[in-house]
Structure 1
């Protein structure tokens, strides 16, 4: 009788083991079928959400945190503005779909009204390396975006990108290599064009105007 019971238990274990093996085999087969199914849409690559640029700085009573998040070519720009005496609060302005790379950040008071502005200099990717500026005037009631139409619409015949931006003598300065007509784009030259911009208040807004 004991031998008979042991025989039944052994058969039951073998049956359970066989069933488990069959289930594993079927699962592997289903996974392989899904992998080989060319009609299924490809799995999208995960979006990069880490900070690709970050800079913290202060100016008078203000503190600023400038950062970008996103993939290699298209990012969101975050400009945080707070008070140096209160590290628990910071208001953040978001500029979406910024293309290219951040080339620098400057905080200044170009119009000498006692309130700072923050300027973020951006350089596009590719062969052009065209420059763009994102600017904000900081006020007690909030931040106002600066109109940069004069910078964005530059169409001089000697302009082929490769901008540099900096602040000098209460002006925003833009320089770029000036190319003559017929010169190859890869040609390097020591001749640089300089354009100076002043911050001008127009109505309730602000704009960067080039000096003629």
Structure 2
């Protein structure tokens, strides 16, 4: 083989080697880019996760109560309408803790039903919270509740529960003596009875009576 032939052969050989190396590099890059994401990666908690849902019906309205979120980012939506074709009136409330239940009642016998949502706050105290509204046909009116008096507050450390019996709302909580740990109240149980009364500022649950159930 003369010098010209050898030079041509050498050029072809180098060209083939270069093409082979470039092809290998491209294949390697594709493999890296297409590798799957590890299942062990932690994902953020879905703040839209549903944690409470209940539908209630009375002769005058349909109520939908839905709670979503996590930790202190929970949102409660209370939606009320007369029938399926009627406009829906709703309230959005941010809260913490746990929704225990939701009920309807007409405690003041005015022919308009109220909605009561019972909540227990997060933490060791589990303080009771009442979310209450009355539907007047065109909007939702909030219902407030008497604050605990100084006398009742002295032995109060949360752990409330609520119930509706006939035309009254009842609130219960354990009584703590001075040295009681949070886990172990020794003072009995307080039972409070409330009436729903219309005030100039709106509807309010007024304390009617209370008794220490030993």
Q: Distance in 2 between the 1:151 and 1:103 partners? A: 21
Mapped pair 1:101 → 2:98: yes
1:128 counterpart residue number? 125
**Change over 3 Å in CA distance of 1:153–1:48 after alignment to 2:** farther
Mapped pair 1:12 → 2:11: no
Mapped pair 1:180 → 2:177: yes
Mapped pair 1:192 → 2:189: yes
Name which one, 1 or 2, has greater alpha-carbon Rg. Answer: 2
Range that drifts further, 160-169 or 147-156: 147-156
SS for the counterpart of 1:17 is helix
C-alpha deviation, 1:110, in angstroms:
0.8
**Change over 3 Å in CA distance of 1:206–1:152 after alignment to 2:** farther
1:72 counterpart residue number? 71
Q: Distance in 2 between the 1:116 and 1:110 partners? A: 8
Match runs of 1:41-60 below 5 Å: 45-60=44-59
SS for the counterpart of 1:181 is coil
C-alpha deviation, 1:182, in angstroms:
2.8
Mapped pair 1:86 → 2:81: no
Task: State the Cα deviation string for residues 73-126 of structure 1 (Å, max 9, x = none).
Answer: 33111111122x426753321112x01100111110111111111011110121
Range that drifts further, 189-198 or 116-125: 189-198
Question: Is the CA contact 2:180–2:186 (under 8 Å) kept in the aligned structure 1?
Answer: no
Q: Distance in 1 between the 2:193 and 2:67 partners? A: 27
Question: Is the CA contact 2:108–2:197 (under 8 Å) kept in the aligned structure 1?
Answer: yes
Task: State the Cα deviation string for residues 36-57 of structure 1 (Å, max 9, x = none).
Answer: xxxxxxx993442121111111
C-alpha deviation, 1:5, in angstroms:
10
1:34 counterpart residue number? none
Question: Is the CA contact 1:106–1:166 (under 8 Å) kept in the aligned structure 2?
Answer: no
Range that drifts further, 59-68 or 109-118: 59-68
Match runs of 1:7-46 below 5 Å: 8=15, 11-18=18-25, 21=28, 45-46=44-45
Count of residue pairs brought into register by the alignment: 194
SS for the counterpart of 1:52 is strand
**Change over 3 Å in CA distance of 1:188–1:86 after alignment to 2:** same
Q: Distance in 2 between the 1:153 and 1:106 partners? A: 29
SS for the counterpart of 1:125 is coil
Q: Distance in 1 between the 2:54 and 2:114 partners? A: 16
Q: What are the ranges of 5 or more consecutive residues in structure 2 without an aligned counterpart?
A: 34-41, 210-214
Range that drifts further, 200-209 or 11-20: 11-20
